[in-house]
Homo-oligomer: A and B are copies of this chain.
């Protein structure tokens, strides 16, 4: 090798090393963030479950699972039929679910979100192991109480709904906010859920209204009041929070809730319903993937 050849060789090597190392640094630093996900063709499907028994069964069914944590949320990133699916253990309640939904959207740019788990029945026609597809979800905890002076008591059947998304003004002062806000379930997710209905044999599957709040109602009169006034089929503590945030980001959303108990027809609590629901939701996700990849 002559001196000149050696110079050229080292220069080219230098270019290669620089370029390769810079590109490598680049790709690893942009792997997180919505930008990177957007560049990929396959946006993941998010499956949310509040409690370990509502999420871990599903996470165990994914291939090549990697666990990522963020705050108190756990994201199990894997694939199903080769398509990216991220199971999220959100924790319980409206606040955790709203935050976990926003984080999932910001970090993973999902094509769709399914919020699933157990619920308490409001509809006397529904029994433990029946499943409600959330054609609508509604926040049952967003309420305004009437003006009552000291000694005039507390009158929960006179409380009215409060729509926190009606306007940017004061919800207490704004008469436009005195309405029920329903979040609609995504039509394609509903279609996927209906297409695999027959795979579920432990109960019936119906469209319905999923009501959510940080409240565990055990008073049958109050449950009946919600059923009559809000049309709630079941209650749980997460769905409407996920639906509200998904809507803010325009991400398709569906709640899928199995009855784990039903106070209005003496349906006893059965924790096995959580697993049964995940088995059904697994079929829904498979169906949605096949519909999505066919497009």
Contact surface of A with B, Cβ cutoff 8 Å: 4, 7-8, 11, 14-15, 18-19, 22-23, 25-26, 29-30, 32-33, 35, 51-52, 70-73, 91-103, 105-107, 118, 120, 139, 141-157, 162, 164-165, 168-173, 213-222, 224-225, 237, 240-241, 244-245, 248-249, 264, 269, 271
Contacts and interface: CB of A to CB of B under 8 A. Distances in A.
Contacts of A52: 168
Task: Please give the count of copies of this chain that the complex contains.
Answer: 2
B220 A164 contact: no
Contact of A102 (B7, B92, B99, B162): B99
B220 A148 contact: yes
Contacts of A152: 219-221
Given A4-B4, A248-B71, A219 B154 contact: yes
Contacts of A96: 98, 164, 244-245, 248
B70 A216 contact: no
Given A70-B106, A164-B214, A219-B155, A95 B94 contact: yes
A52 B144 CA distance: 21
Contact of A171 (B102, B173, B237): B237
A121 B102 CA distance: 31
Contacts of A269: 172-173
CB-based closest 6 A-B pairs: A99-B102, A71-B248, A142-B214, A93-B164, A95-B98, A72-B248
Nearest to A143: B215
24 contacts: A8-B11, A15-B15, A26-B30, A30-B30, A30-B33, A33-B33, A51-B168, A51-B169, A72-B248, A91-B164, A94-B94, A94-B95, A94-B98, A98-B98, A98-B99, A98-B241, A103-B103, A103-B106, A141-B214, A146-B218, A146-B219, A150-B224, A162-B215, A171-B216
